[in-house]
Structure formats: C-alpha cells, structure tokens
Amino acid sequence: MVTTASRRWFGGRDESRRADAQAAKDAAAAAFYELDTAQRDLRISMETIAAADGSPAARQAGEGFAALGQRIDQVSHVYIEAVDAHDLDRVDLEGSVAARAREQLTRAREELVRVKGELDRFAQGLQPLLDKAETQLARVAPARERARAALLAASTALDEVRGKGMRADEFAARLAALGPELTLLNQGAAQHGVQETVQRADRILRDAEAIRAEVERLPERAAEIDRRLVSLRTRAQALRNRADRVDPVLSELRRRFSAACWQDLQHVPEQAVRDVARAEEQLKEAARAREEQRWADVSALVEAVRGALDATDEAVSAAQDRLSRLEAVARDPQAEVQRTRFAIRDAQRLAMEGRSVPDPRHARPLDESVARMERALAGLEERHPDYWHFLQEMEQVRQDVGRVVSDIRGGRGSG
C-alpha cells in the first residue's frame, strides 16, 4: 500500500509540472502574439511616416525600428526553439523535462514581454512623426481626385468640340501625354512620397485645366482667327496702296532738302512692296493652316504677318512724318531750340536746389548739352542745312538732359 501511494503521489507531481509547463507555453504564445501584432501595427505606422516624411528624424526612426526588428527576431527565435524543443503533449513526459520546459518558456515569455515594452515606448515616441505624416497623407487623396476630375473635364470638352467638327489633334496629343503622369500618380505616395505625389497631382491639374480652357475656347478662337485674317488682308492691301504714294513724298524731300535728310528713306517704297508681298504669302499659308486646323501654326503666322505689317506701316509713315517735321523746322527752327533750352534750364534749376555750387557730375553734362545745342543751331546757317541732323541732335540733347534729371532725383530719393 505504501508503494502504490508513493507512485500516485509522484505521478501527481509530474502532472502538475506538465500543467505548469503548458501554462508557461500558453503565456509565451500570448506574449508572442501580442508582440507580433504590435510589430505589424507599428510597421504600418513606419510605412506611413516613410511615405510622407523624408526628414532626418524620420530616417532615424526607420533605423530605430529596424534595430528593434532585429531584437524581436532574436527573442522570437528563442521562443520558437523553446516550443519546438519540448512536446508537452507526450504521455510519458518526465517531470524534470516539464520543469525545464516551463523554465525555458517562462524566460522566453519574459523576453517577449520586455521587447514588447521597448516596442510600445518606441511607438509612443513616434506619435508626433506619425501625426505629421497622417496630416500630410490626408492631402494626397483630395489632390489626386482633383487631378482626375480635371482630366475628365478636359476629355469631355475635347469630345464636345470634336462633335462640332473640329479635330483638335494638338489638344488630344497634349491630353494623351498626361497618361504616364496619371499612372505614376495612381501608384501613390507609398512609392513616390507625399510631396512628389501632391506636386504631380497639381501639375496634372494645371495642365488638364489649361487644355480644357483652350479646348472650350477653340470655336471662339477659330472665329477670332478668321476675323484677323480678313483684317490683315485688308491692311496689307491698304499698305500696298500707301507704299505707292511714298515716291511723291521722297521726290518732295529730294527737291527741298539736302541728301542727308532723305537718303536713309530711299529704300522704303521697294522694301514696302516686298514686305507686303511676303505678308500676303504668309496670309495664304495661314489660311491653309486654318483649313487644316493647325491652330499653333495659324497663330504663329498671324503674329508674323502682324509684326511685318507693323514694321512696314512704320517705314511707310516715316517718309511723310519726315517731310512734315522737316517742313516745320525749316519754317521755325527756334521752336525746337526753345523746347531743348527749356529742358536744360529746368535741369539746371533742379541741380542747384539746396546748393551753392552744382555737383560736377550734373553740371558737366548740362554744360555739354548747351554747347551741343548751340553747335546744332549754328549748323543751320550753312548753305545746305541738314535739318534732319538738327532734329536728331535736339532730341538726343533732351534725352541726355532727362538722364541727368533722373540721376539727380534718384540720388535725392536714396539719400
């Protein structure tokens, strides 16, 4: 009876040790699960930070998380080894083996709990970075949706003008060129970062809105171009007629004034005819581009014609303007002299304000202007006066005097 009781007692102690080992295993498993879950949650937070923040603090947090990951791997390996080393479900498991298993599993759980504490503290310190990153990421979705909406609006506008018989190939190509950018945008901030993603969305938005606005304006633009083409044709014809009247003006200049007054204008009639002919050819080319709906080419040609006709208009007007000015100065050169003298005197009074002696920087050019004016006036006493040179000299003197006045006022303003 004594022997049987002893066996039952020892058998009962083995069962207790096995139960303790099983409890230690369950506790370690719970700790392992909690650590693994916390690590997964924190990894999501780190991905959020990495996508939104490229600062040194964020990079340092990433390094800290990687170091923690290594320690988690180590304690997890110890736990898994402890679990694999003992089969607690064996019927013949000895008490001593169960005790060692309990001890190993308890130590593994303690390490798991300790590292979990480190992970929790690390996550707590990470919160400011995470808050900032989530705020940044909140910008991504609205920016992306605005960009997509702008692309849709541009595409709709393109379909509408095409329905009116307009090809709009240029705008279709520009819209298609945004496709790769949209692909990159859809890949998201996790791959390209918040700043780059938001900037890409803003670029797509701006480009798509610009395309939409231009496409919607296309019918109006076409009508405007038609009007401009008609207007430029009319203007070119008028300039051709005016160019034919330059020769009589030149004849009058040759008859009444010295060669220096008109030599630079001799080429005007022939040059005007050539320029107008060239402009008319460009207008024909613009009309063909308009029929083919090559809007960029039409606009460039229209601007080129307008610029050429402006220059021709100025050249044709110069002859009549020259004659009028020369006639006026021949009748009364003193009018130009008085204008120039008034400008000089006004500058001299300004130079003397608040001074007993003028600044040499101002007095010298003003004195030179007086002398230059007198020389130009004396030149009119010659047998064949160069009235055109006289007018240019007076204008140049007034410009020089104007620069002196600006210098004086600028110096006083800064002082």
CB 112 within 8 A of CB 28: yes
What's the pLDDT score for residue 142? 86
How many CB atoms within 10 Å of residue 118? 13
Which residue, among 93, 86, 79, has the nearest Cα to 36 in the 3D structure?
A: 79
CB 52 within 8 A of CB 189: yes
Question: What is the chain's length?
Answer: 415
Question: End-to-end alpha-carbon separation of the chain, Å?
Answer: 122
What's the pLDDT score for residue 88? 64
| Distance, CA of 392 to CA of 106 (rounded, Å) | 106
Mean pLDDT, consecutive 10-residue stretches, the chain (415 aa), reads 40 68 83 90 81 75 85 88 71 67 84 90 84 72 89 93 85 91 82 81 93 91 92 93 89 87 88 92 94 88 94 91 90 91 92 83 90 90 87 93 90 66
- Per the rule left: phi > 0, alpha: psi between -120 and 50, beta: everything else, 357 is beta
What are the boundaries of each domain within the chain? 2-136, 139-216, 222-328, 334-414
